[in-house]
Structure 1
Amino acid sequence: MTDTSSFPDDLLQLQERLHRAHAEHRAYLADLPWSVEPCTGWARGERFSHRGDVPDSPGWSDEQKTTVDRMWAEIRELSIAVVDHRHWATVAREDVVAARMQLKKLTRPIAPADVTEAA
């Protein structure tokens, strides 16, 4: 499988939404404090730390926890919708893994680095 015509449009759209949901989740987590609950930081020599000194973490607010939970729920729902899609019943059992990987590859957004390398 090398083209999108082998996948139904709704499955392609579900997988694209799943990629986008994962990216939004990762970006949101990157801006949050390192600990969900308030936690005292430490200096490099006190504990193992590949990042050096670790500052105190104020923890996540209730709103931030709710947002993360909502994002995870969306990721789970989209994952289930992709995996349970009726298209997979039409793919030979021994080809499902390769087809699934092809779907992911076809729908993965192009990273800015990929655009400059292609030019």
Structure 2
Amino acid sequence: MSATTPSPEQDPAEETPFDPLDFPQKLRDAQRRAAELYAEIRAAQERLPWSREPHEGWPEVTDHGREREGREPSPGWPAADAAAYDKLWEELREVTAYVQTHGWWKSCRDNGVQGADLVAARQALKTAKGAVPLTREDVEQTA
């Protein structure tokens, strides 16, 4: 055997098997941004009045054993808060469209990842390293 002949372990034609969970960095970054945006939207919903438009609310009602919780009047949202909220939703729609239509999913299908396995890969992205805004390890490192 000559020194230039590759051994079977060094076969250049041999490829690493396709891993549907080896997400590209840009895809993980986009998923992380989507999670951050969702958290910002939830925080705004907690902070802002229950009704976007001014509303007089309604009293609590108990009728024939059924109860309906009442609502206090709402002053509505300030225009700046409504615009910021709408901007968050627009960005979330753009980022989630990017995640859903990323070429990685075509690569998965082209490599035989289909059906439940493709769904599992899409679900795994939501908790993949770098795709989650904050993990337990992040908390432990900063503590």
Shorter-chain TM-score above 0.5: yes
Identity of aligned residues (%): 36
Higher strand proportion, which one?
2
Correspondent of 1:15 among 31, 36, 39: 31
* Aligned 1:67-106 pairs, distance under 5 A: 67-91=84-108, 92-94=113-115, 95-106=117-128
**In the aligned structure 1, how far is the partner of 2:41 from the partner of 2:49?**
14
Q: Which runs of 5+ in 1 are unaligned?
A: none
Corresponding residue of 1:27: 43
Q: Which has the larger radius of gyration?
A: 2
Could you say which residue in structure 2 is the equivalent of 1:43? 59
CA contact (8 A) 2:56 2:73 kept: yes
1:53-72 maps to which residues of 2 (within 5 A)?
53-72=70-89
For residues 32-61 of structure 1, what are the alpha-carbon distances to aligned partners after superposition, in whole Å with 9 as ceiling and x for unaligned?
000111111233247711xxx532100112
Structure 2 unaligned spans of 5+: 1-18
Structure 1 residues 33, 40: CA separation in 2 closer, same or farther (over 3 Å shift)?
same
Contact 2:38 2:92 in 1 (8 A): yes
Shift of residue 87, structure 1, vs aligned partner: 0.6
In 2: Cα distance, 1:38 partner to 1:104 partner:
37
Aligned CA distance change for structure 1 residues 111 and 36 (closer, same or farther; 3 Å):
farther
> Structure 2: how far apart are the matches of 1:108 and 1:73?
20
